[in-house]
Chain A
Amino acid sequence: MQLLQIGFSHKTAPAPVRETLARLAPERLLAAYLEAGWPQTVALSTCNRFEVYLWGRAAAMGPPALSGGRSPLLEGAAASQSSAVRLLERLAGCGLEACAQARRAEAAVLHLFEVAAGLDSLVVGETEILGQVKTAYERARACGLTGKHLNVLFQRALYVGKRVRRCTAIAAGQTSVAAVAVQLAEAIFGELTESLVLVVGAGQVAEQACRHFLCRKVKGLTIVNRTSERAEALAASLAGWPSVRVRPWAGLAPALAAADVVLAATGAGRPVITGELVSAARSARSGRSLFLIDVAMPRDVEEAVHGLDGVYLYRLEDLERIVAENIRSRQGEIEKARLFVRQKAAEFCAWADSVSRGRERSLSHCD
């Protein structure tokens, strides 16, 4: 099989190298490889990886040489890999050979399928990579740089990626506290674009929470803090967002009545959101649900409010427990996904061999 993959991932290449490679114009890169004698090329660029898939030069066959020792018998293959990396070095204007990783034939197919399935991602199972693989493939196809082999390879990779996510729970559950908090809020209110968020506190955690919720395009965000100056300073640091406002500490009760999601992160040392305060707010809310997130230690919100109808209080340890459970559940699914990916990679390799022998086997997506 004449497939060669040169990769720079978060595991092998430092961020500045990946940034330099990510800045390369894909069309220019593809054209350069075509000129260098690679008739089929796909370049995949994401924040965590930069990879080039090349097909078509016989010299690409053989075991990898960049990361291992060179055999005199395989000088041709090594030269082919080195030339592929040198071309990248020329375009990027920096040395790359030390952090490049090469894979060939079955290993390259297996790697691409693992990438598409999210098995090689920082957050295993993340779905964004599938779209990025698709974009990379479509861009190369639009440039006329994918022939039969790379077309089938990438279409197969997309199929494997979708199938793994559909048939395993590899992508189930969020794996960060902030994402779990947003997911819970969405389970109560749906899209957060119509929800009002109240942040009680103005420290570092409060600032992170503000940014996280503003990224979800919430309808409005109110900051209430015991020290108004700090609340004003936090609002000023969020000046780019139009829907941020500050209310004085005395305005906590009306702000609570208006809000849908409340994040409490003060250093008060005693509950500042009491059962009475929430009960009073509920009567002014026409039965709307209220989601409270208490990330303060000692607690900012009295535990009793969770017993109120339509009020949901989650503390930091609740969110952390959900994250831990999600990660544990994903781990269990990884082996299942790897097995499926290996099976599909072997099927593709058998198909590629059958094509090279002139007796093409059928490769259906419906199995």
Chain B
Amino acid sequence: MEPALFLASLIFYALAAAAAYLYLFSRSQRWSVLTLHLLGAGLALHLASFLLRLRVFWVFPENRYLLPVHGAFGALSALALALAVTFFLVERTRRLGILGAFVLPWIVLFSGAAALAKPALAPLPPELRSPWMNLHPVLLTAAYAVFTNAFGVGLALLVEDRQLKSRAPAQFCYGLPSLDELDRLHRRITAAGLALLLAGIFMGAMWARRAWTAPWGWDAKLLGAYATAAWYAAYLYMHAARGWRGRRGVCLAMCGFATLVLTFLGGDFMSRLHGYVFRGG
């Protein structure tokens, strides 16, 4: 039942992404509405499959009250879920429309990758049975999701800026929020993402102090996380102090997003201690 629900959610996410692209090229509002409905359906199915998975995961007494967010399936599925929830919330409140074309493919990508992985069904290793471990991956997953939304908003800003610079803006440009509003939204989402990222890193450090006897280690994933935080902090500083608004600021924040993707995927292969996604470490 649970794999079927997960697969169905993946199909709805893919359909939502397709509708988002149709909106991008057709300018018809109905595709935007359909995108949100399809995403809502995918989200409901994904949540249902997550709850079923939680029930199976908690069959082991050692796993009780801990979340199944470790391993390739757990991490990628949680990331897709967090992304779908944050995108759904952003889209419901702001109705950017165009954002879907830039964010939904990531949800399909992560869900698709999760569908290829085999869900781990075993008691958690003793060192992972910690409340800090419940918060650390959840906060970081939420931060990744929030940053991906910021990336989508940033892309929308770059597209609109380019259109306005062309002196022949396409009609869809007028359906987007203004450049100023996109810039404000991008800054706010990035600030929220950075707060989540720092809190997640802190929770990880608290866990590491007990598990590794030191809160810090020379690990590729850790260094990547710090580099990501540094890029985003630099963006927020330059935005506030140096007036790096619009295209310039977004480009700086996108360096942070590139580091984040490298940290999440590349870090998994290079990291000694965080190879949980593909190597099952």
- Verify B245–A187 contact, CB threshold 8 A: no
* Nearest-Cβ distance from residue A37 to partner chain B, whole angstroms: 45
- Verify B246–A187 contact, CB threshold 8 A: no
Query: How far does the alpha carbon of A166 sit from the alpha carbon of B239 in the complex, in Å?
Result: 39
Q: What sequence of 0s and 1s flags, for each residue 22-45 of chain B, a beta carbon within 8 Å of any chain A beta carbon?
A: 000001111000000000000000
- Verify B29–A166 contact, CB threshold 8 A: yes
Q: Which residues of B contact A312 (CB under 8 A)?
A: 164-165
Q: What sequence of 0s and 1s flags, for each residue 290-325 of chain A, a beta carbon within 8 Å of any chain B beta carbon?
A: 000000000000000010011010100010011001
| Cβ-based interface call for B180 (8 A) | yes
Range for the number of chain B residues in contact with chain A:
20 to 34
Q: What sequence of 0s and 1s flags, for each residue 150-171 of chain B, a beta carbon within 8 Å of any chain A beta carbon?
A: 0000000000100011011101
- Verify A309–B247 contact, CB threshold 8 A: yes
Q: What sequence of 0s and 1s flags, for each residue 231-253 of chain B, a beta carbon within 8 Å of any chain A beta carbon?
A: 00000000100111111110000
| Cβ-based interface call for B115 (8 A) | no
A309-B247, A310-B247 known; A184-B177 Cβ under 8 A: no
- Verify B27–A310 contact, CB threshold 8 A: no
- Verify A186–B178 contact, CB threshold 8 A: yes
Query: How far does the alpha carbon of A203 sit from the alpha carbon of B169 in the complex, in Å?
Result: 29
Query: How far does the alpha carbon of A329 sit from the alpha carbon of B169 in the complex, in Å?
Result: 14
Query: How far does the alpha carbon of A183 sit from the alpha carbon of B169 in the complex, in Å?
Result: 11
A166-B29, A166-B30, A184-B164 known; A190-B174 Cβ under 8 A: no
- Verify A286–B243 contact, CB threshold 8 A: yes
| Cβ-based interface call for A96 (8 A) | no
| Cβ-based interface call for A188 (8 A) | yes
Which chain A residues numbered 144 to 189 have a C-beta less than 8 Å away from chain B? 166-167, 169, 172-173, 183-184, 186-189
Query: How far does the alpha carbon of A239 sit from the alpha carbon of B243 in the complex, in Å?
Result: 36
| Cβ-based interface call for B47 (8 A) | no
* Nearest-Cβ distance from residue A200 to partner chain B, whole angstroms: 20
- Verify B247–A188 contact, CB threshold 8 A: no
| Cβ-based interface call for B90 (8 A) | no
Query: How far does the alpha carbon of A189 sit from the alpha carbon of B160 in the complex, in Å?
Result: 12
A188-B164, A325-B168 known; A287-B178 Cβ under 8 A: no
Sorted nearest first, the 10 A-B pairs with minimum C-beta distance are A287-B243, A287-B245, A190-B178, A286-B243, A318-B167, A188-B179, A310-B246, A190-B181, A312-B164, A172-B171
A contact set with B: CB distance below 8 Å: 166-167, 169, 172-173, 183-184, 186-190, 285-289, 306, 309-310, 312, 314, 318, 321-322, 325, 329
Pick 27 A–B contacts, CB within 8 A, sort by A: A166-B29, A167-B28, A172-B27, A172-B171, A183-B174, A184-B164, A186-B178, A187-B160, A187-B176, A187-B178, A187-B179, A188-B164, A188-B178, A189-B180, A190-B177, A190-B180, A285-B243, A286-B243, A286-B245, A288-B243, A289-B180, A310-B245, A310-B246, A310-B247, A312-B165, A321-B167, A329-B171
